[in-house]
Amino acid sequence: MENFSLSDYKHVIWDWNGTLFSDVEICCDIMNYLLTERGMGKISLEKYREIFTFPVKEYYRIAGHDISDENWEIISHEFIHEYERRKNSCGLYDKAVDVLEHIKSKGISQSVLSAYSQHTLEEMINQYNLSKYFIRLVGLDNIYATSKLANGIKWMNELGLNNNKVLMIGDTEHDFEVANGIGADCLLISSGHQNKNKLLKQTSNVIDSISELLNY
């Protein structure tokens, strides 16, 4: 990346899953559980990061699932049940708290914009004692992990900042799409749910790990 500085921004909008919260491996494991339950073959972690996309309904289709309405509802609830059961085996990415503190120390405000349900997002942020870093947590009102764009537009309007003063940090093409849709700059981290090749097709602003932000 060239000429990138956190100090150019007044606010940072974070994605949660795969960006601050390291849940990629259990998401792949749960997908394999769902596949084997239906007599289908497993996918590797590399394949998972290659096919993952938003809306996640499309990713399930690519993985081989029947996503007709009734099946999709069943699969979604199975996934959430397993995710909630296993999520405490995950944790924050290494240096995530240091990065949040680093940004806070520069007087830059921060928030989270997530496809996670609002209630569970708040629960997780509190569990990791991160509330002091964020002025707002913005999640969805359902479990289906659809687009974050509408919530992002609303949140940007509430922030009332010039577009070039807001940076969105995420780990997927969808985060880049949302950033474009809300008028924010975007930085993507390739240690999350999508591989680096996919992310570089969207933007050259890609880093390998969240810890690299301590250098900017």
Longest dimension (CA), the chain: 53
Long-range contacts of 24-30 (CB under 8 A, 24+ apart): 24/48, 24/49, 24/191, 24/192, 24/193, 25/90, 26/83, 26/86, 26/87, 26/89, 26/90, 27/83, 27/193, 29/86, 30/79, 30/82, 30/83, 30/86
* Residues 95 and 79 placed together within one structural domain of the fold: no
Residue pLDDT, tens place only, 153-186: 999 999 999 767 999 999 999 999 999 999 999 9
Note the pLDDT of residue 49.
97
Cβ 28 vs Cβ 45: under 8 Å: yes
Last residue of a domain, one of 69, 89, 109: 89
Average pLDDT, the chain: 93
Whether residue 164 sits in one domain with residue 95: yes
Tell whether the model's pLDDT for residue 204 goes beyond 70: yes
The radius of gyration of the chain's CA atoms, rounded to the nearest angstrom, is 17
Question: What CATH number does residue 99 fall under?
Answer: 3.40.50.1000
Task: Using pLDDT thresholds of 50, 70 and 90, give the confidence band for residue 2.
Answer: low
Query: Which pLDDT score is estimated for 56?
Result: 86
For residue range 68-109, what is the model confidence (pLDDT) as tens digits? 888 888 998 999 999 999 999 999 999 999 999 999 999 999
Q: For residue 55, what pLDDT is reported?
A: 83
d(CA 51, CA 24): 13
Instruction: Give the β-pairing of 185-189 and 136-140.
Output: unpaired
| Boundaries of domain holding 41 | 24-89
What percent of the chain lies above the pLDDT cut of 70? 96
Residues listed for the chain:
216
Query: What is the C-alpha separation between 110 and 112, in angstroms, rounded?
Result: 7
Looking at the 3D structure of the chain, how many domains does it have? 2
Same domain, 122 and 72: no
If asked whether residues 97 and 192 sit together in one domain, one would say yes
In a domain, 165, yes or no: yes
Element (H, E) at 197: helix 196-200
Model pLDDT for residues 106-138, shown as the tens digit of each residue:
999 999 999 888 999 999 999 999 999 999 999
DSSP letters of 90-132? -EEPTTHHHHHHHHHHTT-EEEEEEEEEHHHHHHHHHHTT-GG
Angstrom distance (rounded) from CA 159 to CA 143: 26
- State residue 145's pLDDT score: 46
Note whether 30 and 82 are same-domain residues.
yes
Q: What is the pLDDT of residue 144?
A: 47
The pLDDT value recorded for residue 139 is 93
* Domain assignment of residue 1, yes or no: no
Last residue of a domain, one of 89, 107, 127: 89
Domain boundary among 41, 57, 89: 89
- Look-up: residue for tokens 């680093």? 102
Which strands form 136-140's sheet, in the order they lie side by side? 136-140, 109-117, 11-14, 166-170, 185-189, 206-207
142 pLDDT more than 60: no
pLDDT of residue 147: 64
Whether 123 and 64 map to the same domain: the answer is no
For residue 39, what is the DSSP state?
T
Whether residue 190 has pLDDT greater than 80:
yes
